[in-house]
């Protein structure tokens, strides 16, 4: 297998965008990479771990994005090259130190990868982080392909050192998770910390006069960015084609524009931006002058449209601008060739489609099929926890509708799907505990429950727990501890003592931690012991104070991989009546209804046996598995 981090310059290979970014970090000589897992950004650090970067480079997951950024920033002010990776909501978590870093600036290059998710495919909002440029006053670069993602990773670090500011590489899912052909570049030597300056006005934000002066410095640096970017980057802002009819685009949208324009003969000038902030005014003034009509094609907010409109107000106020404001490009979701084709044809293209657009197959009377939203896996310990919680609420004398369950971010949020429909909210990292507390202090008189995963607890749950304990609010906090960051691809948590990189670490024990901050009652129960779990819920729901139930069992996929499966289950046909109690109680995706009876797909069963407990006819039995 090709080691993509060590393969020589000039080799052309298929890389996913995130793998290309990982390669770019090695090419640029970074010595510190930190981040927090989040789709679609996670594979950058996972790739660095998978292929091994040697002892010269520190590559580790941090407890959350702001800590990750601060680690990278500390490295950078000492002259090291550093990078940090996160998904869009993670950028919000890191925002405080990111904004301040623009005032202190950097010494070694510092890249902040922010992976947005138009669609959305896997993110709670369609937050558009191109605006971070305006907000944080930091340069923003945007790639369209895995090749550009790699090359702009290198350029980000070079530009960062050139203008002494952190640089944001803003990507979208269709760049991060696209595999494409990439030509590798040369690998530079690792740039480690040399010396840190004791420069108080620069690095101490406690002096208001200093801050005012640094703000002036920052604005001055921003004025230098366009020229510096054009000088250091192999991938530049560019124009393709010519004429008075223009398209302004960037990122993934550029790909759809290029494909659609290949279908037509009209002369169109495509202005493709790579530097998104500060807006490259010189380039835009030059390239927009002479445009009579402009269609701005971009995903999510009308960011480029705002930038283009500003420039055109200086260049030519008579230019007609189409885009989101005119209703030709949608404000939500991701684009595709179909949307872009129709926008082009309804605005600036006068010819009819020159080439025939592919026709869809005649599909006759097709059966409409049921949706398949992502479920919790077979054997998932979170499923047992939720089943026990719902039973425990009843045992404690409450109706389900009286006990709100505040969810959090991770696989256990999939418990929202039928049949369990166990959680009532899923908001932001750590919010389960604080929102449950909020409802309680507002006078809600029945029990409230917060469910939070182990990694999410480390990330943003500890402070909410301290808040609840300090204010003595009655909440039951369930820490669903599967000892891993499962949803994003099985990354390490602070409880691990041996990390992906090979580094030895000090394991942080959740039980001792919650005891130390003064929780009133703590219990640790294995949710595979369903009876014990139901009893624990019943007991804790009746108690006052802050109660923590640590539901502790490893992720079933990891357990199956590590230990091998000893048992699986099957349905004994003549005993099964087809009542489907097994499916209604568990929602396990390994069980299905064949028209008369339940069946277990033996390939998918992970042997937890939860279904067998709920079969009134004892029709589900264990089979040993070799």
Partner 1 sequence: MGRVLNIAIASVGGQGGLTLSRVLAIAAVLDGYSVRTGETLGMSQRFGSVVSYVRIGDRVFSPTFSDGEADYILGLEIIETVRALRLLKSGGVVIVSDVVKPPISASLSREVYSRSKLLEAIGGSVSTVVVPAQKLAAEVGNPRAANMVVLGVFHRLQSVLSSSSIKKAISEVVPSKWLESSLAAFELGVNYLKT
Q: Hey, which residues between 268 and 327 contact partner 1 (CB under 8 A)?
A: none
Q: For partner 1, which residue of 97, 180, 185, 545 counts as binding (CB under 8 A)?
A: 180
Does position 358 bind partner 1 by CB under 8 A?
yes
Quick one: tokens of 12?
Answer: 């052309």
Q: For partner 1, which residue of 127, 156, 173, 347 counts as binding (CB under 8 A)?
A: 173
Quick one: tokens of 485?
Answer: 């960051």
Contact window for partner 1 (CB under 8 A) among 219-227, 232-240, 332-340, 538-546: 332-340
Does position 96 bind partner 1 by CB under 8 A?
no
Q: For partner 1, which residue of 150, 174, 328, 569 counts as binding (CB under 8 A)?
A: 174
At 173 the three-state DSSP class reads helix
Does position 371 bind partner 1 by CB under 8 A?
yes
Does position 8 bind partner 1 by CB under 8 A?
no
Q: For partner 1, which residue of 100, 122, 211, 326 counts as binding (CB under 8 A)?
A: 122
CB of 285 to partner 1, least distance (A): 27
473-487 per-residue burial string, b: 16 or more CB within 10 A, e: under 16: bbbbbbbbbbbbbbb
Does position 411 bind partner 1 by CB under 8 A?
yes
Does position 421 bind partner 1 by CB under 8 A?
no
Does position 372 bind partner 1 by CB under 8 A?
yes
DSSP for 485-520, please give it: BTTTT-B--TT-SB-TTS-B-PPPPHHHHHHHTT-S
Does position 486 bind partner 1 by CB under 8 A?
yes
Does position 419 bind partner 1 by CB under 8 A?
yes
- Contacting residues for 559 by C-beta, under 8 A, at least 6 apart: 379, 553, 606
CB of 471 to partner 1, least distance (A): 35
Quick one: tokens of 544?
Answer: 């006052």
- Count of residues in contact with partner 1, rule CB under 8 A: 74
**Interface residues for partner 1 in 601-620 (CB under 8 A)?**
601, 603-604
Quick one: tokens of 348?
Answer: 């600036």
CB of 252 to partner 1, least distance (A): 8
Other C-beta atoms closer than 10 Å to the C-beta of 437 total 24
Does position 179 bind partner 1 by CB under 8 A?
yes
Q: Which is nearer to partner 1, 17 or 527 (CB)?
A: 17
Q: For partner 1, which residue of 64, 178, 287, 551 counts as binding (CB under 8 A)?
A: 178
Does position 376 bind partner 1 by CB under 8 A?
yes
Other C-beta atoms closer than 10 Å to the C-beta of 410 total 24
**Interface residues for partner 1 in 131-160 (CB under 8 A)?**
144-145
DSSP for 598-619, please give it: EEE-TTT-----HHHHT-TT--
Q: How far is CA 392 from CA 351, 384, 386, in A?
A: 67, 12, 9
Does position 370 bind partner 1 by CB under 8 A?
yes
Q: For partner 1, which residue of 52, 74, 97, 119 counts as binding (CB under 8 A)?
A: 119
Q: Which is nearer to partner 1, 285 or 584 (CB)?
A: 584
Does position 363 bind partner 1 by CB under 8 A?
yes
Q: Which is nearer to partner 1, 42 or 237 (CB)?
A: 42
Does position 492 bind partner 1 by CB under 8 A?
no
Does position 61 bind partner 1 by CB under 8 A?
no
Does position 580 bind partner 1 by CB under 8 A?
yes
Quick one: tokens of 135?
Answer: 């907000």
Does position 238 bind partner 1 by CB under 8 A?
no
Does position 362 bind partner 1 by CB under 8 A?
yes
Q: For partner 1, which residue of 99, 394, 396, 583 counts as binding (CB under 8 A)?
A: 583
Does position 589 bind partner 1 by CB under 8 A?
yes
Does position 595 bind partner 1 by CB under 8 A?
yes
- The DSSP element (H or E) to which 453 belongs, if any, is strand 449-453
Provide the CB-side half-sphere exposure for 110 (13 A, CA): 30
Does position 2 bind partner 1 by CB under 8 A?
yes
Contact window for partner 1 (CB under 8 A) among 10-18, 194-202, 313-321, 442-450: 10-18
CB of 78 to partner 1, least distance (A): 34
Considering just the CA atoms, what is the radius of gyration of the chain in Å?
27
Q: Which is nearer to partner 1, 255 or 308 (CB)?
A: 255
SS3 string, 116-158, reads ECCCCCCCCCCCCHHHHHHHHCCCEECCCCHHHHHHHHHHHHH
Contact window for partner 1 (CB under 8 A) among 45-53, 117-125, 198-206, 494-502: 117-125
Quick one: tokens of 402?
Answer: 């009286």
According to DSSP, residue 564 is labeled -
Distance, CA of 379 to CA of 520 (rounded, Å): 31
Q: For partner 1, which residue of 198, 216, 352, 359 counts as binding (CB under 8 A)?
A: 359
Distance, CA of 564 to CA of 192 (rounded, Å): 42
Distance, CA of 21 to CA of 30 (rounded, Å): 12
Quick check: 301 and 131 in contact, CB under 8 A?
Answer: yes
Helix orientation angle between 17-27 and 146-163, rounded to the nearest 10 degrees: 40
Distance, CA of 376 to CA of 423 (rounded, Å): 13
Report the DSSP pairing between strands 275-277 and 140-141. antiparallel
Helix orientation angle between 208-232 and 146-163, rounded to the nearest 10 degrees: 130
């Amino acid at each position: 297998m090709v080691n993509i981090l060590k393969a020589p310059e000039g080799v052309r290979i298929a890389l996913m965008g995130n793998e290309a970014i990982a390669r770019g970090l090695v090419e640029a000589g970074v010595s510190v990479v930190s981040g927090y897992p989040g789709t679609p950004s996670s594979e950058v650090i996972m790739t660095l771990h998978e292929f091994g970067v040697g002892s010269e480079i520190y590559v580790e997951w941090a407890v959350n994005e702001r800590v990750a950024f601060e680690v990278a920033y500390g490295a950078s002010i000492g002259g090291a090259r550093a990078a940090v990776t996160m998904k869009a909501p993670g950028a919000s978590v890191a925002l405080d130190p990111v904004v301040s870093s623009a005032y202190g600036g950097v010494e070694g290059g510092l890249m902040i990868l922010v992976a947005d998710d138009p669609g959305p495919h896997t993110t709670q909002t369609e937050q558009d982080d191109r605006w971070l440029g305006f907000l944080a006053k930091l340069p923003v670069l945007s790639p369209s392909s895995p090749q550009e993602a790699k090359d702009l990773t290198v350029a980000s670090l070079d530009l960062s050192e050139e203008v002494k500011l952190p640089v944001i590489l803003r990507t979208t899912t269709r760049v991060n998770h696209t595999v494409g052909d990439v030509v590798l570049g040369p690998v530079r030597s690792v740039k480690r910390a040399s010396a840190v300056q004791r420069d108080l006005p620069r690095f101490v934000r406690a002096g208001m006069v200093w801050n005012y002066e640094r703000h002036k410095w920052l604005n001055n640096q921003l004025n230098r960015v366009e020229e510096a970017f054009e000088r250091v980057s192999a991938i530049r802002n560019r124009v393709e084609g010519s004429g008075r009819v223009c398209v302004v685009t960037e990122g993934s949208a550029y790909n759809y524009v290029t494909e659609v324009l290949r279908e037509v003969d009209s002369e169109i000038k495509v202005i493709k931006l790579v530097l998104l902030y500060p807006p490259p005014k010189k380039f835009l003034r030059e390239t927009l002058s002479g445009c009579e009509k402009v269609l701005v094609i971009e995903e999510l907010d009308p960011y480029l449209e705002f930038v283009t409109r500003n420039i055109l107000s200086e260049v030519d106020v008579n230019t007609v601008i189409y885009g989101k404001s005119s209703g030709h490009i949608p404000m939500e979701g991701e684009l595709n060739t179909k949307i872009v084709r129709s926008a082009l044809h309804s605005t600036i293209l006068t010819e009819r489609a020159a080439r025939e657009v592919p026709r869809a197959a005649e599909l006759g009377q097709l059966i409409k099929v049921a949706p398949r939203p992502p479920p919790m896996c077979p054997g998932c310990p979170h499923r047992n926890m939720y089943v026990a919680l719902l039973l425990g609420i009843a045992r404690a004398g409450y109706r389900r509708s009286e006990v709100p369950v505040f969810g959090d971010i991770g696989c256990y949020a999939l418990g929202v799907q039928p049949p369990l429909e166990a959680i009532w909210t899923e908001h932001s990292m750590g919010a389960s505990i604080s929102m449950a507390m909020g409802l309680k202090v507002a006078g809600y008189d029945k029990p409230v429950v917060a469910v939070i995963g182990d990694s999410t607890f480390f990330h943003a749950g500890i402070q909410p727990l301290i808040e609840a304990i300090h204010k003595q609010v009655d909440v039951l906090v369930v820490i669903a501890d599967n000892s891993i960051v499962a949803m994003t691809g099985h990354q390490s948590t602070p409880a691990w003592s041996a990390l992906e990189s090979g580094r030895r670490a000090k394991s942080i024990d959740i039980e001792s931690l919650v005891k130390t901050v003064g929780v009133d009652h703590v219990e640790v129960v294995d949710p595979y012991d369903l009876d014990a779990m139901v009893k624990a819920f019943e007991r804790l729901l009746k108690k006052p104070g802050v109660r923590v139930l640590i539901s502790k069992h490893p992720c079933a996929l990891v357990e199956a991989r590590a230990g091998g499966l000893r048992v699986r289950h099957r349905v004994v046909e003549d005993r099964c009546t087809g009542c489907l109690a097994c499916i209604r109680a568990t929602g396990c995706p390994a069980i299905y209804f064949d028209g008369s009876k339940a069946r277990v797909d033996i390939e998918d069963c992970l042997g937890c046996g939860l279904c067998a407990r709920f079969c009134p006819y004892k029709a589900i039995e264990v089979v040993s598995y070799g």
